[in-house]
Structure 1
Amino acid sequence: MSVSAIERLSVSQAMTLWEGEDVFSLGKKAHAARLALHPEPVVTYIVDRNINYTNVCACGCRFCAFFRPPGHAEGYVLSREQLAAKVAETVTLGGWQILLQGGMHPELPLSFYTDMLAFLRDRFPEVAVHGFSPPEIVFLAKMEGLSIAEVLAELKGAGLASLPGGGAEILADAVRGSVSPNKCPADAWIAVMREAHGLGLRTTATMVLGLGESLEHRLEHLSRIRDLQDETGGFTAFIPWTFQPGNTALSVPETSSWEYLRWLALSRLFLDNIPNIQASWVTQGPRIGQLALFYGANDLGSTMIEENVVAAAGVHFRMEEEELRRLAVGAGFNPVRRNMDYTPHDPEPVPRRKLEPLF
């Protein structure tokens, strides 16, 4: 069944579902939609590593515990040797992709990024670089006096394979102006993704719950993602996770796992044109990540050989590949390694049998 076969929800219908359905009934609906899209009993995942090439960032977002301002004694930029060592270890552990992100470093020109990509392409041609984020692209374009398309074309030419959805947080400027006033507005984030899709770069879309946003703000975010996907078809997956307030300058209550599961379910129902929904075990822990497989998610994301941003907020969930596979098997699914575009990376064919809803 195609993605478009899911009945499209309006914003008002989504509001009604959120306000009138409990966690179990929303989960049942989302799981049915997930099985309609992916009837095979498969849960996908990728083996990769998050590498932060720098922690220096001039943005100063209130929700980030990882960044250091320019000139800070704890600021760093990875050397080529340090970067190569991390990628080499990733390959040794079975990884074939890296997520490469940093911050808005005012002293790193575009040539730093293209040289870094070319270095990785030449040293590790078998490793795909899923790199940077729309705010980084916007910052580089302004600093270099170039268009978004020109910056993305330079990065793609140097070896960038795909673009992650970082920096989306909540795509509503009322929220962004409060928690990240120096970061690009929602329209600019969408514009970067539109240009990336136009250049043939596949991307993901993300969302951070619990930044003080309203239901209307959350649905504005989903609507923007759905509208752009209607236009370009360039998003491979949607990945919501919860804000971790530890060690940050933003004082808000932590979003519960139950609310996370409800929102995951509503996202699956609303985003009828995005084929894959990823569970966030990195912020929720392995068991909620496993439970998310019955709330609309069909993907367990990355094994996270390295992760620094969430860890800086005091959350340290880690999983080896075999443990991640056991989570999928324990939930009744066949675990399948994948690439960023969701093509299988496993050499063996996946058995096909129909998995009935558990609810």
Structure 2
Amino acid sequence: MNSFHTIVTSVQENKRISPDQALILFKEADLLTLGSLANQRRFDLHPEKRVTYVVDRNINYTNICMSGCRFCAFYETPGLQSPGYVLSRQELADKIQETLDLGGTQILLQGGMHPDLELDFYVDMLEFIRDNFDIHIHGFSPPEIDFLAGKSNLSVTETLQTLQKAGLASIPGGGAEILCDEVRKKVSPNKCMSDAWLDVMRRAHNLGMRSSATMMFGHLEKDRHIVEHMDRIRNLQDETGGFTAFIPWTFQPGNTKITVKKKTSAEYLKVLALARIFLDNIDNVQASWVTQGDKIAQTALFFGANDMGSTMIEENVVASAGVDFMLPESELKRLISTAGFEPRQRDCYYNRV
């Protein structure tokens, strides 16, 4: 059952493959074979030649964070000498208004594990946005929510309910890195572990909130950890059905505390293709032009991706690691069109705008 050719046949017949089979496929298949299998599965799920994208902005409401993740070049530690910030209401309003003026439909609101911001700060910020702007709030990764719940002496569900009532609509999949604790303990030891990350998502889904799922690879993980991560995401999706999309992206080592050789574009495409093959219960797989640039993101459309993600009017975290690809909406649409697809603007739930 686990011979390479048997596994390939199973994929071609749209059968679910096991984690062991996925690992064999990943290790033994060449790039073009994986790409062809992923492309077939992509068109089985989305037979129309359309590629979606969203117009939004990443707003980092603070860069102060206690986590101290070794892979992050963006955060500032708390302290009197720190160049850290917390956005004022006026700064926040200006960023949101500019997003709306550019045709944006949502903001991605993320910060860090700030030791001095209480739950009331988050509620007030959400209510300010909700009461003054007609925009979807996609915000607060599971580590932020887990940290805030512990700090507030509330359960994760109570914390989510409070944020949801104030205006939070959906949750980004950030802070996942690799959902395997032996890796997390090396790269982000102060952040919630794998079970806690998954539990935040489970509870959010049970409250009717949707979320994305991400994977940052290319640091201290092994191939088996990549498959384990995908398996945990797939299992939770079987349980809740709450994930809208999966977004794998490569670790950017610049200005970080992890010294590794940067993953090649071919290695990125192999992981992307495996994700499309293995995650048979997640509708959408997103290309990461932010880390790969426009040409590889365009190529990713033939390796299983059906979504180009966000125009990212603003992005700070990856840029802090020395990678600064930026694409306006017109260029994103051009890339999709010249690859032979029809560009379609979407909202957070993959409905057409």
TM-score normalized with structure 2 length: 0.95
Equivalent of residue 242 in structure 1, options 250, 272, 286: 250
What is aligned with 1:323? 331
Deviation at 1:141, TM superposition (A): 0.6
Residues 33, 119 of structure 1: alpha-carbon distance in 2 compared, 3 angstrom cutoff = same
Equivalent of residue 178 in structure 1, options 179, 183, 186: 186
What is aligned with 2:154? 146
Specify the code of the residue in structure 2 equivalent to 1:162.
S
Q: How does 1:163-202 map to 2 (within 5 A)?
A: 163-202=171-210
Equivalent of residue 76 in structure 1, options 68, 82, 85: 85
Once the two structures are aligned, what percentage of the paired residues are identical?
Answer: 62
The separation in 2 between residues aligned to 1:108 and 1:85, in whole angstroms, is: 22
The separation in 2 between residues aligned to 1:161 and 1:65, in whole angstroms, is: 28
What is aligned with 2:135? 127
Deviation at 1:253, TM superposition (A): 1.2
The separation in 1 between residues aligned to 2:105 and 2:98, in whole angstroms, is: 11
Q: How does 1:47-58 map to 2 (within 5 A)?
A: 47-58=55-66
Equivalent of residue 59 in structure 1, options 63, 67, 80: 67
C-alpha offsets along residues 235-287 of structure 1, whole Å, 9 cap, x if unaligned?
00000000000001111111111000001001100000000000000000000
The separation in 2 between residues aligned to 1:145 and 1:344, in whole angstroms, is: 40
What is aligned with 1:90? 99
For structure 1, which runs of at least 5 residues remain unmatched after alignment?
Answer: 346-359
Secondary structure at the counterpart of residue 272 of structure 1: coil
The separation in 1 between residues aligned to 2:14 and 2:286, in whole angstroms, is: 18
Secondary structure at the counterpart of residue 294 of structure 1: coil
What is aligned with 2:110? 101
Equivalent of residue 33 in structure 1, options 28, 35, 41: 41
What is aligned with 1:267? 275
The separation in 2 between residues aligned to 1:6 and 1:335, in whole angstroms, is: 26
Deviation at 1:96, TM superposition (A): 1.2
Specify the code of the residue in structure 2 equivalent to 1:270.
F
Deviation at 1:145, TM superposition (A): 0.4
Specify the code of the residue in structure 1 equivalent to 2:221.
E
Specify the code of the residue in structure 2 equivalent to 1:52.
N
Query: Could you say what the CA RMSD is over the residues aligned between the two structures, in angstroms?
Result: 0.7
What is aligned with 1:277? 285
Detail structure 1 runs of 4+ shifted over 3 Å in the superposition.
none
The separation in 2 between residues aligned to 1:290 and 1:114, in whole angstroms, is: 39
The separation in 1 between residues aligned to 2:95 and 2:238, in whole angstroms, is: 37
The separation in 2 between residues aligned to 1:212 and 1:139, in whole angstroms, is: 24
Specify the code of the residue in structure 1 equivalent to 2:95.
K
The yes-or-no answer on 1:213 pairing with 2:192 is no
What is aligned with 2:123? 114
Deviation at 1:6, TM superposition (A): 3.2
Specify the code of the residue in structure 1 equivalent to 2:86.
V
Aligned length: 340
What is aligned with 1:289? 297
The separation in 2 between residues aligned to 1:102 and 1:15, in whole angstroms, is: 34
The separation in 2 between residues aligned to 1:295 and 1:134, in whole angstroms, is: 28
Question: After the TM superposition, which of the residue ranges 195-204 and 210-219 deviates more from structure 2?
Answer: 210-219
The separation in 2 between residues aligned to 1:107 and 1:20, in whole angstroms, is: 50
The separation in 2 between residues aligned to 1:6 and 1:182, in whole angstroms, is: 40
C-alpha offsets along residues 297-320 of structure 1, whole Å, 9 cap, x if unaligned?
000000010000000000000001
For structure 2, which runs of at least 5 residues remain unmatched after alignment?
Answer: 1-12
What is aligned with 1:355? none
The separation in 2 between residues aligned to 1:200 and 1:23, in whole angstroms, is: 38
Deviation at 1:73, TM superposition (A): 2.6
The separation in 1 between residues aligned to 2:231 and 2:84, in whole angstroms, is: 37
What is aligned with 1:306? 314
Specify the code of the residue in structure 2 equivalent to 1:199.
L
TM-score normalized with structure 1 length: 0.94
What is aligned with 1:204? 212
The separation in 1 between residues aligned to 2:178 and 2:170, in whole angstroms, is: 21
Specify the code of the residue in structure 1 equivalent to 2:38.
A
The separation in 1 between residues aligned to 2:71 and 2:62, in whole angstroms, is: 18
Deviation at 1:16, TM superposition (A): 1.4
